[in-house]
Structure 1
Amino acid sequence: MYQSLLALVIEFLGCKTPQAWIQVACKQENLPLILIDHCNCELKAAQTALFMVRKYGVDDCSGEQLLAWARPYEEFVYHNDRDMQAFLARDLSKGELKGTLRVKSGIIWGDDLISKMLRLVKEEFHHFEQVLEIMQARGIVYQNLHAGRYAKSMMQHVRTHEPLTLIDRLIVGAFIEARSCERFAALAPHMDPELEKFYVSLLRSEARHYQDYLALARQVAGESIDERVAYWRELEARLICDPDPEFRFHSGVPA
């Protein structure tokens, strides 16, 4: 039912996840690592989108509101005295985004950036909590886990002059979201029924996220970005297909 959607994602990416990664990911002993890193990826995706809005879309006061929105999630992840049950049982109304965000003047694509990125943030926060609920039900304790090379390696190639920096960040965001979508589809058939259903449920939102990032990149550029997309496609494919010393949700072929 999602094959047509997935075909567009794979065409955009240029390569599928290697079978060697899937074989390692499907081992039962690696499930805790997959879920913890997936959880981290959802938070990082939300943080990236919030950074975009704070830096490019809203004034400083609105930026503080966004930081407050993310604080409960970041405190859970970054504090060692975390309590998963208390976090999941908290009063969600207290953590909602409050007040009206003020768009920076003179930015014609500001409203579009804010609307697309805030929708993404809400969905990623929700996915973060869904993964935690699955972990809690299975007795998997959240642990600190340092990031792999994937996103960091791509960010090292982002251009350093605006608006090229923003354009590259948006394209990188598109590739990360598209790869997440493709990985969920690759994992789903090999998981137990609960996880298979969960991963399939994520495909549509992840596919829309990459399309939103790409649309914003084109809007900011005001011209074709095909050449730059091709550059990132080649770089991202190398990170996915080359040997990788660490196994993570977005890692390459296990070395």
Structure 2
Amino acid sequence: MDNHSHIKEHFEDYNDVLFDATPPSWASRVTQDLELLLIDHAHCERKAAQTAMTLIYRFPEQPFVSSLSKLVREEMVHFEQVIKHLKRRKKTYRSLKPSEYGAFMGKMINKDPKHFLIDTLIIAAIIEARSCERMAMISDYLDGDLKRFYQRLHDAEKRHCIQYLHFAQQCSIESIQSKINEFSQQESHWLNQKSHLVRFHSPHGSD
């Protein structure tokens, strides 16, 4: 898809992407089991890198592939940093059943080539936005090195969210705001399920 958009959207804050906020009680609950939370977080960073790598592979002609390459490296550095925090707590990175959040978000992507890239970029932005919001919230319930780690990570993930939104708008001849609204409302509906699962993107409906 050509980079021919004449729309000049200004995306500045990830909170503008989210339909609603995660309740603080979610953060209070999941931080009671830091081992599971950190293991799942490591998987999230790995998956984020994989998403960007897949976009580079499938759309090599896009002007933002170099930026995606940098994003991949940053996500893998974050992955390594989470692993280090696990090791400091004498915990081991391992396989972990996901929350199904990613699978749900992926189902919203229209497989038609006319929509696939834009939808994928918007979904990636919403996932980054939710991650960013929850990192900020989690940091309020932590202290020491882990608190500072999540505060630093928050800034990087915010940048990734805004990047994905700009990439999506570059690929579209129309404003992407209506799609952002549609996807974020569905994301909110899924997260408002009742669940006691400890995952970075677990539902918060019971909190």
Q: 1:128 aligns with which of 79, 83, 86?
A: 79
Q: 2:127 aligns with which of 167, 176, 184?
A: 176
8 A contact 2:17–2:181 mirrored in 1: no
8 A contact 1:239–1:252 mirrored in 2: yes
| Per-residue deviation, 1:254 | 6.3
**Partner residue in 2 for 1:219:** 170
Could you say which structure has the greater relative contact order, defined with CA pairs below 8 angstroms and 6 or more residues apart? 2
| Per-residue deviation, 1:8 | 2.3
Q: Which has the higher helix share?
A: 1
**Partner residue in 2 for 1:163:** 114
Superposed counterparts of 1:1-255, under 5 Å: 8-27=13-32, 30-57=33-60, 104=61, 110-112=62-64, 114-244=65-195, 246-253=197-204
Q: 1:83-123 deviations in whole A, cap 9, x for unaligned?
A: xxxxxxxxxxxxxxxxxxxxx4xxxxx122x1221111010
Give TM-score scaled by structure 2 length. 0.89
* CA 1:38–1:123: 2 relative to 1, 3 Å: same
Q: 1:166-211 deviations in whole A, cap 9, x for unaligned?
A: 1110000000111111110000011121111000001111011011
For 2:85 and 2:104, the matched residues in 1 are separated by 30
Identity across matched positions, percent:
35
| Per-residue deviation, 1:245 | 5.8
Which is greater in Rg? 1
Instruction: Provide the alpha-carbon RMSD of the alignment.
Output: 1.5
Q: Please identify runs of 4+ aligned residues in structure 1 that moved more than 3 A.
A: none
Give TM-score scaled by structure 1 length. 0.73
Alignment coverage as a number of residue pairs: 195
* CA 1:247–1:254: 2 relative to 1, 3 Å: farther
- What are structure 2's unaligned runs of at least 5 residues? 1-11
| Per-residue deviation, 1:157 | 1.7
